[in-house]
Homo-oligomer: A and B are copies of this chain.
């Protein structure tokens, strides 16, 4: 038998009369004092947010809760229709699609910003850095994440609103500046308006909050779980899954009839 590595968690532990989470006593320090959003911040960063961090983090997180009839919402609805006894599986199914295409672009934008600017306190030429980023992304054939939007034109209204909230609370630093500069530079190089979208604003503001880029997708996952429960409920009360199925099947097999 090989020598085993010791298992170790520091998230939570219990005794007969206490539950400790990230060093805080659940009953004494958290319940009645910490909101669900601040609890999420605690789970992500190992500490409670101060008041300004809380305002910014919650503003950022609520953007991600609900986007209407997304592929994820459709998935959750189709799933609850087949397994109404397993709401958790319907939400789980909906989360499975939060990969590189939708939520992943937020992660990519955050990685771009944090990789380009590992130390937010460093003195840098933001415009030069933005130029370098845009050139590098374009030359490697990648789409620059966090800018432009196919529906919200000319401007995704969530982005300026989140930037305003960040600024009011002292979180409009170098990452926000860099994200805006990347959008400007990309617009200039590509000859069209490509303002920062919600994804880019979230990535920049999360970076200001010192949330590591490889965690950023997790904010989307937790927020969307909330929204998907609402779709379960509406589907249970006023279903559309069978209609969608009938419509898709009819259209997709019409050429075989």
Report the minimal beta-carbon distance from A219 to chain B, rounded to whole angstroms: 8
Bound-complex Cα distance A65 to B43 (A): 9
Q: Given A32-B55, A165-B31, A225–B66 Cβ distance below 8 Å?
A: no
Beta-carbon contacts under 8 Å, A230-251 to B: 230-234, 236, 238, 240-241, 243-251
Bound-complex Cα distance A65 to B93 (A): 20
- Residues on B with beta carbons closer than 8 Å to the beta carbon of A232: 218
Tell which of B99, B218, B241 touches A89, judged by Cβ atoms closer than 8 Å: B99
Bound-complex Cα distance A87 to B30 (A): 27
Bound-complex Cα distance A89 to B90 (A): 9
Tell which of B14, B152, B243, B247 touches A17, judged by Cβ atoms closer than 8 Å: B152
- Residues on B with beta carbons closer than 8 Å to the beta carbon of A165: 31-32
Cβ-closest chain B residue relative to A236: B214
Q: Given A70-B245, A217-B88, A245-B70, A36–B58 Cβ distance below 8 Å?
A: yes
- Residues on B with beta carbons closer than 8 Å to the beta carbon of A230: 11, 43-44
B89 with A101: CB separation less than 8 A: no
A112 at interface, CB cutoff 8 A: no
A20 at interface, CB cutoff 8 A: yes
Bound-complex Cα distance A84 to B168 (A): 36
A88 with B93: CB separation less than 8 A: no
A-B interface, 6 closest residue pairs, ranked by CB to CB distance from nearest: A83-B99, A36-B37, A82-B97, A225-B225, A218-B229, A43-B230
